[in-house]
Amino acid sequence: MKNLFIATAMACVLFTHAEAQPKLTLRVDKAERSVSPTLYGLMTEEINYSYEGGLYSQLLRDIAMQEMTGGQQSRRQQGGGGRPGGPAPKPRYWVLNDSTAGTLRFNTTGGINFTQKRSLSIELTKATSLENPGFWGIAVRPATTYFGDAYLKGQGKVTVGLRSLDGQKVYASQDVNLNSNEWKQYSYTFQTVADVKATKDAVFFIQFHNTGNYSLAYPTLFPKSKKTYTVKSDWYRTDIMDLLREMRPTFLRFPGGNYLEGNTFKERFDWKRTIGPLTMRPGHRSPWGYWSTDGMGLLEFLCWAEECGAEPILGVFAGYVLNSDYVEGDALEPFIKDALDEIEYTIGGPETRWGARRIRDGHPEPFKLTYVEIGNEDFFDRSGSYSHRFMQFYDAIKEKYPQLQIISTQDERTLRGNAENPAAIKVDVIDEHYYRNAEAMYRAAQQYDSYDRNGPKIFCGEWATREGSPTTNMNAALGDAAWMTCMERNSDILVAHCYAPLFVNVNQGGMQWESDLIGYDALTSFGSPSYHAQCMFAQNLGNKVVPMEAEGVPTTPMGREPVPQLYYNTTVDSQTGKLYLKLVNIGASSQTVNVVTTGAKVKGKAVVTTLKSARPEDTNSIDNPNNIVPAKSSLKVSNNFKIALAPYSISVVVM
């Protein structure tokens, strides 16, 4: 794949002694390589409580009554069976305010429908309240409307609302009269006052004013969105969505990631079970150990992409799960049909079965779709089955949708090596994943320069510089920026890339994978230094790559061999004439760089956006979200000018 490709004008670095002053020459009239229009995007999966307790704005925890006390239960316990002869498992996130007032237990039969079979039995000997803590708290905000519904059995008045942890302050509530001993759906709406102090130290409560026996199933609580998004406006947490929009993504890769495959076939992302009313979505356990209600289902993912101005990169289940089980041949055909149906749901018209279903679900227009990815990380499949599975999917999808580009998760050489007929293998795009530390990113910053321009296109579908926890630090942002200069410079063959993981709930127990891009708790959210670097690069991008020549680039000691201290790339907008110069100084010393432009006239003042910190280990946090953020300045420029780069800094010059 990586045949030698030499282009002197595109050389990333020249290793010279540290005393030489760096000089960069921009050859604007030689800008021939096109920048991919889908270069910057998002990758998502259910990890680090990305949806449950994250972007998905449903506030209550364990609405499907799946989580029990006792820490990490066995699968038998998780299913409600408990240990033979042992104590019955108890609800973990539903508790009585007065534990002496009655008992709680899960029922695994007799639910509200054939999908939601579980419920909570409440036997009260005196009046008390049932409480739910949400995901490490529930956000109370001023002048905010909350709405939801619940299925209940029982008689008498209850009060539903939000109150402080100590129970002394009720932020908002509504009375509900229960009047049936059979399942009945009750809705509630309440609003906080304008002068309430925002807090996450709140619980949801159902106050039972009478003794007796009650049952509860599938309660929900959403904050009413104050912003208009798509048909799913109230499904998304608005502060997190605002951060995503700032990234200017052109695509959203979903549903993952390991979340696509699941640990077993039963736990895969089965898209047909994620559409329609919430109570008809059975949910499943995430491969990262917690329950997913599938409130973020296929349509919610598609609308999420649409709201961000992006298109989906649709990952389809390819018959392989994380315990290394797989099917192929005739046994794969039902999954191929599922994939074709999923594509039809996404782009089909009203005359199609699944396009008509999408319309009934509330989205009349088809979504834009260019790329479909077959599976996820099938380079872990040591059986060699992926080449056969991939071609079965490839042929079936291309036959019905020849306009779509198909992404493989194994490289071309591996696919052909495992194929009975290597010549039959067809590959449009290959997905490559890289998780590295900053030093490895610096050493990889020429990786794509030598890729074969006649081979398949590249999708870097997961990558990150893994330094910092739970979100990245400045050193990781420097590694990310160096890597992004490489991807931009080679965006004629690299059609798209996306960082992973995108989200992390920063509360203890909320993280399964460090380092992450966007952090949040129940109330607030923030972008890491890597997030700000991504925004700077994505917001300042031309449509042509400008060749660059470098002289006198210093090195900095690192590991066994030094690495270049500076990394860079330039693109130009051929319509407006704007030049976008990206400069990364990873060193502890400042650097003054001489910038020379040929093939175009440069004049006036440039806008310079800089991200920097005093120390590479500096970072952002819930308590200090703006410790490292971009700052703007102006700089007089010409065809020959100098720019001073601060230590540990990322700069974008627009001129």
Q: Encode pLDDT of 326-349 as tens digits.
A: 999 999 999 999 999 999 999 999
Residues 146 and 207 in one domain: yes
Instruction: Show the 3-state SS of 439-466.
Output: HHHHHCCCHHHHCCCCCCEEEEEEEEEC
Q: What is the pLDDT of residue 232?
A: 74
Q: What is the pLDDT of residue 87?
A: 61
- Assigned domain for 647 exists: yes
Mean pLDDT over 156-185 rounds to 97
Q: What is the pLDDT of residue 2?
A: 35
443-499 per-position pLDDT tens digit? 999 999 999 999 999 999 999 999 999 999 999 999 999 999 999 999 999 999 999
Q: Which of 359, 354, 336 minimizes the C-alpha distance to 344?
A: 354
Say what the pTM is.
Answer: 0.94
Kindly report the CATH number assigned to the domain that includes residue 118: 2.60.120.260
Residues 406 and 481 in one domain: yes
**Long-range contacts (CB closer than 8 Å, 24 or more residues apart) made by 227-234:** 229/303, 229/307, 230/303, 230/306, 230/307, 230/363, 231/303, 231/362, 231/363, 232/299, 232/300, 232/303, 232/304, 232/362, 234/57
Using CB atoms within 10 A of its CB, is residue 195 exposed (0-12), middle (13-18) or buried (19+)? exposed
Rounded Cα distance, 614 and 558, in Å: 19
What sign results for the dihedral spanned by CA atoms 96, 147, 49, 76? positive
Mean pLDDT over 73-84 rounds to 39
As a whole number, the mean pLDDT across the chain is 93
State the DSSP string of 171-208: EEEEEEEEEEEEEEEEEEEEE--TTPPPBS-EEEEEEE
CA-to-CA separations, 492 to 238, 550, 569, in angstroms, rounded: 34, 21, 14
- Assigned domain for 341 exists: no
- Assigned domain for 454 exists: yes
Which residue, of 525, 550, 574, is where some domain finishes?
525
- Assigned domain for 163 exists: yes
Quick one: how far is CA 245 from the chain centroid? 13
Three-state SS at 629: coil
Say whether pLDDT at 301 is over 70.
yes
Q: What is the pLDDT of residue 4?
A: 29
Band the pLDDT of 73: cuts 50, 70, 90.
very low
Residues 162 and 256 in one domain: no
Q: Which of 398, 445, 477, 519 minimizes the C-alpha distance to 651?
A: 477
**Angle (deg, nearest 10), helices 529-538 and 474-489:** 20
Rounded Cα distance, 312 and 345, in Å: 13
Say whether pLDDT at 647 is over 90.
yes
Q: What is the pLDDT of residue 608?
A: 98
235-270 per-position pLDDT tens digit? 999 999 999 999 999 999 999 899 999 999 999 999
Kindly report the CATH number assigned to the domain that includes residue 385: 3.20.20.80
358-389 per-position pLDDT tens digit? 999 999 999 999 999 999 999 999 899 999 99
Band the pLDDT of 93: cuts 50, 70, 90.
very high
Residues 313 and 459 in one domain: yes
Q: Which of 337, 362, 374, 366 minimizes the C-alpha distance to 349?
A: 366
Residues 508 and 559 in one domain: no
Rounded Cα distance, 263 and 574, in Å: 48
Which residue, of 223, 242, 259, is where some domain finishes?
223
Quick one: how far is CA 522 from the chain centroid? 17
- Assigned domain for 356 exists: no
- 134 within 8 A of 158, measured Cβ to Cβ: no
Three-state SS at 165: coil
Using CB atoms within 10 A of its CB, is residue 322 exposed (0-12), middle (13-18) or buried (19+)? middle
- Assigned domain for 311 exists: yes
- 469 within 8 A of 437, measured Cβ to Cβ: no
- Assigned domain for 203 exists: yes
Residues 510 and 588 in one domain: no
Residues 206 and 315 in one domain: no
Structure tokens at 111: 């639910």
Residues 484 and 612 in one domain: no
Q: What is the pLDDT of residue 88?
A: 65
Band the pLDDT of 68: cuts 50, 70, 90.
confident
Using CB atoms within 10 A of its CB, is residue 646 exposed (0-12), middle (13-18) or buried (19+)? middle
Residues 552 and 639 in one domain: yes
- Assigned domain for 3 exists: no
Cα-Cα end-to-end distance for the chain? 36
H-only helix segments in 224-320 = 238-246, 258-261, 298-307
**Percent of the chain topping pLDDT 70:** 93
Rounded Cα distance, 283 and 259, in Å: 12
Instruction: Show the 3-state SS of 299-355.
Output: HHHHHHHHHCCCEEEEEECCCECCCCCECCHHHHHHHHHHHHHHHHHHHCCCCCHHH
- 312 within 8 A of 369, measured Cβ to Cβ: yes
H-only helix segments in 401-495 = 412-417, 438-443, 474-489
**Side-chain half-sphere CA neighbours of 569 within 13 A:** 24
Residues β-bridged to residue 566: 585
Residues 563 and 514 in one domain: no
8-state DSSP, 560: T
Mean pLDDT over 433-451 rounds to 97
Rounded Cα distance, 44 and 362, in Å: 23
Kindly report the CATH number assigned to the domain that includes residue 606: 2.60.40.1180
Residues 483 and 395 in one domain: yes
Query: How many folded domains does the chain comprise?
Result: 3
Domain around 468 = 40-56+231-327+369-525
Rounded Cα distance, 529 and 547, in Å: 28
Band the pLDDT of 224: cuts 50, 70, 90.
very high
Residues 209 and 287 in one domain: no
Which residue, of 198, 223, 248, is where some domain finishes?
223
Angle at 261 between CA 390 and CA 235, to 5 degrees: 120
Q: What is the pLDDT of residue 13?
A: 38
- 338 within 8 A of 298, measured Cβ to Cβ: no
